[in-house]
Structure 1
């Protein structure tokens, strides 16, 4: 049966061994000499071994005591680290960052990594959503910074980072793009859906909406299963789908711009650093 060691007793044992006496240890630990003696007696009784002995006018550790002290120091150190880690916040500042799902990869991991290298005490709370939801959330104070993808130039202080064309994607080697009507696998909230359908209408290509949900996850899975096609940014990376080599049988899609927005309350230094790193990452 395992017995639990009292950290208070272990601290006292270390103090007695290092100071060489009960009285000096008591002064160091702000205890009475009788309390120190009682704790050492109880610790020896608990372990059924002698931990301390007299050597002339000093008290020293026995071989068993010395062995226990080596463990005791580690236990006390781990205890102190645990208490300190809980007493101090992990980060000095946390930034709520909203990102359009279509630019989450491959850009955001590199951006966060580079930013945290310069600001190790800065925490990131990242949430992926639709650009329209992110703009609304920024106005309502839910985000400190957002990255959106937009067709038209921003009129609300957004910083243009890069331009990226849309292209048609589907399952690698898939055949859904050859079907008539063309199955469109895009959720109602996806801002690429209307421009994609508009160019199909302009080209006189018949299409059918196969997704009736607001969430885009099922639309992506449906596309990867070769049930339909969708429009994505050419800079977007996702396993299971790739650009369709349609040889001009599908119409060209418009370009989109990645925009960066800040909350008015964000620290100016952080905002400037964010813009600098983002401008380098989004190239």
Structure 2
């Protein structure tokens, strides 16, 4: 006769954090437990399940096939658990949610979005991940984040919440560097939309250029533009007041869209509430 086994919700919650972060050390900071305590908890959970749940290596941890299966069940169970508590005690929404967002959107939009969200749901715990869309999508697939704002090339896509213009940015209205025969550009990584948009635009008019600086750091791109050593490409809303948008002498750049994506087909109540709030607020900011 099998012995009845009850899964410990604390172990499941900590397992989900470890699986998402890919690191016991990072998870220990999030959950407020030591690494040794988390390691022992994961051993207890593996003993309860009867299977290895995590691949451990020098670079971190990742779920085994059994761990991936358990993670899906754990996230569903934990979300329902949080919903039940919130409903029964009559309080505001509770639980945790991880939001991914490109850095320029986080600066331009998130202060307004999150201020109004937390005014309604003060008990929600938020984890932010700022990264380019090319890095956020794999994290969504691995369920390391719950929901993300992403950039899409088609601004009229039905899923787009608002559109944003790419613009050329420099330290002066008529920068001297614009006369350079091989125009230096400061762009994000080669896989990003702004990088491809800038290169395609320059090549369309046969304008010589070189990518003098490439970084996924918005602060880095702005710093190079301020120095006058290169012209950068930013979304219009991310341009700081001391920089200038350049139109004369440069080819037009495309408009992109901002969309919202979830990691799960059935997101938790907290992720769903945050997504619904972003959909309602973002277009009007």
Q: TM class by shorter-chain length?
A: 0.5 to 0.7
* Superposition map of 1:232-247 within 5 A: 232-238=234-240, 240-244=242-246, 246-247=247-248
SS of equivalent residue, structure 1 residue 211 = strand
Instruction: Judge conservation of contact 1:163–1:258 (CA < 8 Å) in 2.
Output: yes
- The residue that corresponds to 2:258 in the other structure is 258
- C-alpha distance in 1 between matches for 2:270 and 2:177: 49
Any gaps of 5 or more consecutive residues in structure 2?
1-92
Tell me the CA shift for residue 240 of structure 1.
4.6
Aligned residues: CA RMSD: 2.6
Could you say which residue in structure 2 is the equivalent of 1:159? 159
Aligned to 1:211: 213
| Cα shift readout 1:28-65 (whole Å, capped 9, x = no counterpart) | xxxxxxxxxxxxxxxxxxxxxxxxxxxxxxxxxxxxxx
Specify whether residues 110 and 205 from structure 1 end up closer, same or farther in structure 2 by C-alpha distance, changes over 3 A only: same
Unaligned runs of 5+ in 1: 1-90
Say how many residue pairs are matched: 189
Using the alignment, how far apart are the partners of 2:236 and 2:131 within structure 1? 19
Higher-Rg structure is: 1
Shift of 1:93: 1.5
Looking at structure 2, the residues matched to 118 and 206 of structure 1 have their Cα atoms a distance apart, in angstroms, of 52
What CA distance in whole angstroms lies between the structure 1 residues aligned with 2:165 and 2:229?
Answer: 23
Map of 1:109-258 to 2, 5 A cutoff? 109-152=111-154, 159-173=159-173, 174-189=175-190, 190-211=192-213, 217-238=219-240, 240-244=242-246, 246-247=247-248, 249-258=249-258
- How do 1:57-96 and structure 2 match up within 5 A? 92-96=94-98
Q: TM-score, normalised by structure 1?
A: 0.60
Q: 1:263 to 1:188 in 2, by over 3 A?
A: closer
TM-score (norm 2): 0.59
Indicate if the aligned counterparts of 2:99 and 2:147 stay in contact, CA closer than 8 A: yes
User: How far does residue 146 in structure 1 lie from its aligned partner after superposition?
Assistant: 0.4
